Structure 1
Amino acid sequence: MLGNDLGSNDMSWLMSENVRMKNSEKVKSIINKLIVGGKDMLQVISDFDYTLTKQHENGKRCLSSFGIFEVSEHLPAHYREKSLVLFDKYHPIEVCHKMTVEEKVPHMIQWYKEAETLLTGCYLTPQDIINAVQETHTAMRDGTDDMMNTLEKAGIPVLVLSAGIGDVVQAVLKKHAILHPNVSIVSNFLMFSQVDTNIVLDGFQGEFIHVFNKHAAGSGPNKSGHSRSHVILLGDNVGDAGMAEVVQPTPLAVLKIGFLYEKSEERLPSFLEHFDIVLIDDQTMCFMNKLLQLIIEK
């Protein structure tokens, strides 16, 4: 029994086959706090790529915000080719379960520097980015629109904290009509300048946000959007598990939910160390929507 108002049957979804927990009693305790606190104490912090979006669909890996650039006809072929080379080089490091975060960070920084170098000087306009997103299949997790609409209706703030390309993240959310007023985005946004009659890319604004420095990506309630003391955190990489650290003062209750697909058996032990709940190859937001139902309709 989770709480005074809930019967044991209410939590059967928590015991689904694809749900993994290191400490189920801790999870139930946190969920109980979230339910008791209700919607007015809650905020949601979510990664974007492979968290709000699917990890795979129809047997193929889905595109990330960088990936949309890689297949876009609005950028030169040499960018698309070299960007894929960078992905093949650095992504295995990002998901390697044998390396520590400290060992990975220099490689992630180098990845972003090389990606920025590739982008700088390319002829591209903000409208080209919007067009690229409209022309590309962007697969949101089944039920993501329901989740975002529920959060907006309940007045629950959402921070999308992404190591991807912020301009693409923004365009994708607009495309799917889920960039509601309660949603804020902290990400790597692009800079543009005009050369003669052309608009060119100048790289990224400010310091890089990569998957392992999100905890320091503009800390404080002004950057997280709110200082609400209860947080549901959603991510697909162990680096995402620290995202709630952007909230000040320190939240009273944080439920960390991780989506795991790639190399799941190898990476599961690490995920269980960082996330309270790990969802194995779940390409939906069913779990999150059920949780929100319990919190909002208590």
Structure 2
Amino acid sequence: MSYRVQSIIICKPLRTTVRSRCLSLPPRFTPRVFFPCGSYRNRIGMDGNGISVASEVLVGDRELLDKKIAAIRSGGPQKMQVIVDFDRTLTRYSINGQPGQSSHGLLQQGNPEYDAKRQQLYEYYHPLEFSPKIPIEEKTKLMEEWWGKTHALLIEGGLTYDAIKQSVANATIAFREGVAELFEYLEERDIPVLIFSAGLADIIEEVLRQKLHRSFKNVKIVSNRMVFDSDGCLVSFKGKTIHSLNKNEHALDMAAPLHEQLGDADGPNNNNALVKKRTNVLLLGDHIGDLGMSDGLNYETRISVGFLNDNVENSLDSYRKSFDIVYLNDTPMWGVVELVSQLC
């Protein structure tokens, strides 16, 4: 069966300086409709300046999407928030033909013995995470066990925040093109962004610092956060453990604004109640399970955007049924920037 796919030419903005307060948005979409046959190839188009990025996007129910866009636009930016997964949603799936690393997977704690122990845990628990034969209650306990053991190894192995900085510097990780512009656009309109991750908040912040070279006042991270002593050594973790099966807005009390530097003490988590009142949601994820990130929010309208990076043909049908919009093949973020500009 073939699905109707819109191939959209999205021109990269001419001004993409991250620190610029003057954001140049991509021009309006130029739709081209085609029917894929077997393979899904990026279509490249050139504008007058020879600068453009092409992507493929699938909309399962165009009429429903149009209604949701109209509803969110009618509510205005003051009722809107963005909930986004980090690994392989904000970051690229592949870099120069090689798989990009996750925020958890890039960590090298400077102790080969403990790095090997964490890898052994991964090899044991990761297949269990995706096993269809394990009931969700049992699987949740297994994930709590996995995360608990991993965090204990990080403490026991003497992880330092210098090791985090070096790990990020050496990592194969990069943001999708357009992420910085998306965050700037939302920041200028005081639209909150919640980054949900079952990884480590301190690593995510360091990736933002090293790859985007700035922080954003409207961005909060819902993830596992570390506590360091005066010597920069990891001594504990704060609050509840967030793993792959409880990564949702029930954990909003874990949300914290971006820190200026690694190891900053947490300030008060204010405005979380106001975030819950923002009942129009744009949700971005690369896994169907990411749709649960908004479970704790009594939202009025939600537009869900899925990034299908791998195994496209086998997964396309389930993603089409689950997400309002599906971007294929590790596409840049320009389409989401354009969508947000329409919503605002």
Report the counterpart of residue 122 of structure 1 in structure 2: 157
Conservation of the 8 A alpha-carbon contact between 2:144 and 2:243: yes
Contact 1:211 1:240 in 2 (8 A): no
Whether the 8 Å CA contact 2:285–2:291 is kept in 1: the answer is: yes
Alpha-carbon spacing, 1:179–1:54, altered in 2? closer, same or farther (3 Å): same
From the superposition, tell whether residues 42 and 129 of structure 1 become closer, same or farther in structure 2 (CA, over 3 Å): same
Correspondence for 1:275 among 306, 313, 323: 323
SS of the aligned residue for 2:291 comes to: helix
When residues 265 and 279 of structure 1 are mapped into structure 2, their CA distance, relative to the original with a 3 A threshold, is: same
Selected match of 2:168 from 130, 133, 139: 133
Instruction: Give the deviation of 1:31 after TM superposition.
Output: 1.6
Note the residue ranges of structure 1 that are not aligned, 5 or more in a row: 1-9
1:246-289 CA distance string (max 9 Å, x none): 33xx2211111111223333444443443222222233102201
Question: What secondary structure sits across from 1:167 in the alignment?
Answer: helix
Report what 1:177 is aligned to: 213
Aligned partners of 2:326 and 2:138: how far apart in 1?
A: 24
Is the 2:279–2:301 contact (alpha carbons within 8 Å) kept by the matching residues of 1? yes
Distance in 1 between residues matched to 2:116 and 2:85, nearest whole Å: 26
* Map of 2:294 onto structure 1: 244
TM-score, normalization by structure 2: 0.71
3-state SS of paired residue (1:124): coil
Instruction: Tell me: CA distance 1:136–1:190, structure 2 relative to 1, closer, same or farther (3 Å).
Output: same
Q: Distance in 1 between matches of 2:274 and 2:124?
A: 32
CA contact (8 A) 2:111 2:157 kept: yes
Answering whether residue 288 of structure 2 is matched by residue 231 of structure 1, we say: no
| 1:110-165 CA distance string (max 9 Å, x none) | 32123123212122333432343234343101111111111112221111111111
Give, in whole Å, the separation in 2 of the partners of 1:204 and 1:129.
15
Preserved CA contact (<8 Å) 1:51 1:234: yes
What is the Cα deviation at residue 193 of structure 1? Answer: 4.5
Kindly provide the amino acid, as one letter, of the partner of residue 208 in structure 2.
L
Structure 1 or 2: larger helix share?
Answer: 1
Tell me if structure 1 keeps the 8 A contact 2:95–2:172: no
Q: Which residue of 2 aligns with 1:222?
A: 272
Shift in CA distance, 153/254, structure 1 to aligned 2, threshold 3 Å: same
Compared CA separation, residues 284 and 22, structure 1 to 2 (3 A): same
The CA deviation at 1:188 is 0.5
Unmatched tracts of structure 2, length 5 or more:
1-27, 37-55, 256-270
Superposed CA RMSD in Å reads: 2.9
Aligned to 1:65, the other structure's residue is in SS state coil
Aligned residue runs from structure 1 range 1-298, under 5 A: 13=31, 18-69=56-107, 72=108, 74-95=109-130, 101=136, 104-175=139-210, 176-193=212-229, 200-215=233-248, 216-218=250-252, 222=272, 225-247=275-297, 250-296=298-344
SS of the residue aligned with 2:208?
helix
Using the alignment, how far apart are the partners of 2:66 and 2:309 within structure 1?
24
Greater Cα shift, 159-168 or 169-178: 169-178
Structure 2 CA distance for aligned equivalents of residues 134 and 39 of structure 1: 36
Of 90-99 and 287-296, deviating more is: 90-99
Q: Deviations over 1:29-81 (max 9, x none)?
A: 11222233332321111111111111112221111111121xx3x42112222
Separation in 2 of the partners of 1:143 and 1:29? Answer: 26
Q: Distance in 2 between matches of 1:98 and 1:14?
A: 42
The answer for the alignment partner of 1:4 in structure 2 is none
Q: Name the amino acid aligned to 1:218.
A: L
Q: Does the 8 A contact of 2:61 with 2:324 survive in 1? A: yes
How far apart in 2 are the matches of 1:260 and 1:128? 32
* Aligned residue in 1 for 2:17: none
Percent identity between matched residues is 33
In 1, the alpha carbon distance for the partners of 2:306 and 2:280 equals 17
Aligned residues of 1:163 and 1:209 also touching (Cα < 8 A):
yes
Distance 2:299 2:58 in 1: 24
User: Which region of structure 1 is more displaced relative to structure 2, 148-157 or 97-106?
Assistant: 97-106
